[in-house]
A and B are shown apart, each in its own frame.
Chain A
């Protein structure tokens, strides 16, 4: 069933960061442009070949960021004829891969560029003071809801209540993820970490501690997609996009249908795995959004890697650590590698590198099929991508 227009990933780039901050001196758009250029050049293409442009971001709002693809296209000096500015939070980039895949299959574009950039750490611009108290958020912000951690804390509390999940279970995830970071020279936090360290770190929003939360860093990444046919002439070995799915349910946490169950991940995962013709047992390496430790637990259950309610047991005994039975978040994740506000593009970059087999000390042996799942908002949106070595 192979088709010349099957979508593949042919180019990747991410910006170097040191201590969580960009090394190169450039604006947030400058970093977007630098990774975009690097990613197309890796494939043996130029920015002039790009006719599909997909981005989401938090820069320039209100202002030029309100029309993000338009501003980015202008900055790059290109005239894309297929654009997608879908912004559903940190999972936007998994949705972008899906949308680019459909546009490529349809012949609506030939070379699609997905870009993200944030200088939130350098700018100290991360605002946790709450969302403007308008529309749905007029029923949330005035109560002093810590965003986004409070919503995740409420889900964790509910999961603990219904299934007996413990803070120790959640800490196992942070510790295993740190062990992967220690194998990745580009990761921000590489010092040793224990379950006790996590559980004795500052309580932020009960039951989540400081070390249950992702990092706050800068970061920029780019992905180039094209068709299998076009990829034959290019410089890199293509990685195939075999399946995708997306869904969202709510933004205000009071509207989350089931606080202990991640329905968007369940729906998106089912759709993506069905399209790819795979089941959870076929996956060699898993990259899932780890904004908070609880995000991972809920995602693994919803995707069917374990039963609902059994996530705590599943991650016990460092199962997701290097050498464990379930290699996950192999770059060190949002918890230990980097988390520039919207992290989803870095899940895709790491999964593609694992399938290319270029991950050095952290390479998962025999990785042929990868599952990537992004979560955005406050457990609001989910998008899954299944990638395969060609």
Chain B
């Protein structure tokens, strides 16, 4: 990974999520009213619009909902990574999130593949939840 990789600008909504990732946990908001998880973290639940939300540590398991193999990088920061797999992971708990699939063989990635989170440190503040096929 190039050192120029753009890093997230953390805000009050996302701070607990990034803090947890840095500590090796996948924490996403869980609604105290409708009981659904959501991602990305918001101040109100996008399902029922309640503000009764708490971060919940989830399983880190899910499946590939869809993906693309980037044959051209999204800017110079990613030039060394090509080809790389950007995917939407559907977590066991329901929400979808974007991430990378770490693999030596991008051609093996397919929709429905079971995946598990793995944490990759990018800076003193930021650790990314990536996924590997299980």
Contact = CB atoms under 8 A, between A and B. Distances in A.
Nearest to B88: A254
Contacts of B99: 143
Contacts of A204: 71-72
A139 B42 CA distance: 12
B74 to A, nearest CB: 4
A205 B8 contact: no
Given A133-B9, A157-B111, A145 B71 contact: no
A112 interface: no
B75 A129 contact: yes
B11 interface: yes
Contacts, number: 120
Contacts of A136: 40
B118 interface: no
A135 B42 CA distance: 10
Interface string A274-306: 000000000000000000000000000000000
Interface string A190-210: 000000000000111111100
Contacts of A207: 68
A138 B111 contact: no
A117 B9 CA distance: 32
Interface in B56-96: 65-78, 81, 84, 86, 88, 96
Interface string A116-158: 0000000000001110111110111111111100100111011
B66 A145 contact: no
Contacts of B81: 144
Contact of A254 (B69, B78, B84, B98): B98
B11 A254 contact: no
A57 B67 CA distance: 30
Nearest to B79: A144
Contacts of B128: 142-143
Nearest to B126: A142
B114 interface: no
A157 B78 contact: no
A203 B69 CA distance: 9
A138 B70 contact: no
Given A129-B74, A205-B71, A252 B86 contact: no
A273 interface: no
B10 A252 contact: no
A386 to B, nearest CB: 32
B66 A133 contact: no
Given A140-B98, A157-B68, 12 more contacts: A132-B6, A134-B11, A142-B128, A143-B100, A144-B75, A144-B86, A146-B68, A150-B68, A158-B66, A254-B39, A254-B98, A259-B65
Interface of A: 128-130, 132-136, 138-147, 150, 153-155, 157-158, 161, 202-208, 252-255, 259
